[in-house]
Structure formats: structure tokens, C-alpha cells
Amino acid sequence: MGEIPQFDHPVKDHLEIAEGLRAIDMARGAKVSGARFYFLRGVGAQLELAILNSAIDQATKAGFTPMITPTLVLPEAMEGTGFLGEHADEVYHLDKGDDLYLVGTSEVALAGYHKDEIIDLEGGPIRYAGWSACYRREAGSYGRDTRGIIRVHQFHKVEMFSYCRIEDSYEEHERLLGWEREMMARIDVPYRIIDTAAGDLGTSAARKYDCEAWMPSQETYRELTSTSNTTQFQARRLNIRERTENGLRPVATLNGTLGTTRFIAAILENHQQADGSVVVPEGLRPYLGGREIFEVVGSAA
């Protein structure tokens, strides 16, 4: 969806553009925290806040309850959502007497929110939009995407999460994808939708769609959002049920990314100008005081 931009100038990657805007500082991020950490500064920080605030605004208008969630969770929350299976080596674990996990998505906390509860779905799905910092070890990714903020250890994300009846989960999944597409239109980058093959699905998902944005510097598409229907997998493990005329049964749970730090990379690359400036997508301008362009300010001090 959307036309791939054609540039009359040498294409820069998002980090080179960000350095001209003084928006991302990878060197000092590594100095403070090690590889794959960074500082967002100036317009970089403002752009991330614009992305996340617009995502929360969109979700709220769609009927989601905004939530700021814990980023440390107990083992049963991580296990119940399926994150301690084949991808357990990507999760940070605090084992010095705490036995807590740092989440890679607010999906974990939002799924655990109704653990051991019977919830009422008579009025339709219960929807939350969680804003959280997220942490991933990126184990096994050494040498991949080491430049810039495509693959990092810490980022922010707004995640949609829905509880619904199993019969309604398939239509709900399409709705989550539709809201993701609205967000992709807001940042105005070319993208494609991938219906993930069954063999590539994770432990919990029965079906997953990815929205992949075009990255001009790499001449390829990279994942920006995903949405999964986990049907009753998580609810069975977390004991989240609903009452039906035939008794209690597990509900269905679904999740979907609505905004995240990685959006910055796609915006900078697709909206770059020959002089190093970046045109602000129209959909984000209301969240940046009406600002229309990010101007070059020189190399970072």
C-alpha cells in the first residue's frame, strides 16, 4: 500500500538522517548502557512521543481503555502468555531473589490483568491499549541490523489487547489489522501486509498479520506492526473465563502493535529530503504543534 518513494539524491539510512537532525545518539547510548542502546534527543524524542500519543488517541477513539502497564512481571504472567517457550532466551530475567521478568510487550501485563477472573463479554470485546517500555535481549541476532534503531534492547510501544468470545475473535482480528492500517496511513509510509505462514507462527498465535514498511536504504520491507489471534491459548493458561449458557469457558485474546519506536526509522527514511531535512507526515503534525519539517541542525555535540 502506498507508492515507494523515488529520490533524486543519494538515499541515506535513518541513522545518518537522524545524526543531521541531532535526533538519535547511538554512541552515548553504547557508552552508558552498551551495544544496541541509544538516546532519543530533540526531535527524535518529540517524534516518538507524537507516534505514541497519536496511537493512544486513535485507540481511545476506537473504544480502547488506555493503560500504562508494569514492565516487570511474575513468571506466571510470562509463562501464561507463551513467552517462556522457544523464545525464552530473548527475555531479560531478574534472578537475584526477585524472580521477575522484563516484558518485551505490554501484551504480557494486559493478558495477566484478568488472570483467574470471570469476565463479562455480553457487551462485546473488552479492549485495552497499553503504553510501556519494552525490553528484548535479541539473542541470536548478532551481526543483524546493528546500525540504528531497527533491532535494539529497549523501546516503547502502544499495544492493543482484546478479550472476546472465540466466535468473535476472527472478525476482531480483522478489526485490529484495520486499526494498524489506519496508523500506517497516519505516518504515510509504503507498506505491505504479510499473512504469516503457519510454520512461522510463535507458540501462542493461531494467526498473525504483519505490516511491513518499505525501508529505502535497504531496498526491502521491514516489520513495523503485527497482530495475532491467540484464540483461547493464553486464557486457558491464565484461567480467564466467561459465562455461557453451557457453563464457563475460556475467552479468546488478541493483540496488535499500534505504535512503536521503530516507526521513527521508517518515517525518517521515507520522508527524507536532499538537504537532509525530513518532512513531517501530515497525520503526526497535530501532535508536534503543527510542525511541517525537521530541519538539519548539524552533527551531534
Catalytic annotation, residues: 136, 151, 223, 226, 262
Question: Nearest Cα to 55, choosing from 136, 156, 134, 124?
Answer: 156
Q: What's the number of CA atoms in the CB half-sphere (13 Å) around residue 76?
A: 10
> Which three three-digit cell numbers place residue 70?
508494569
Q: Strand, coil or helix: what is 187? A: helix
Grid cell 538522517 is found at: 17
Q: Report how far residue 212's alpha carbon sits from residue 210's, in angstroms, rounded to the nearest whole number.
A: 6
| Helices of type H across the chain | 14-21, 26-33, 43-61, 75-80, 107-112, 169-187, 233-238, 263-270
Residue 19 Cα distances to 11, 26, 151, 163, 187, angstroms: 14, 9, 18, 42, 21
Give residue 97's region: left, alpha or beta (phi > 0; psi -120 to 50): left
CA–CA dist 109, 71 (Å, integer): 8
Q: Which residues pair with 92 in a beta bridge?
A: 102
Cα separation, 184 vs 180, whole angstroms: 6
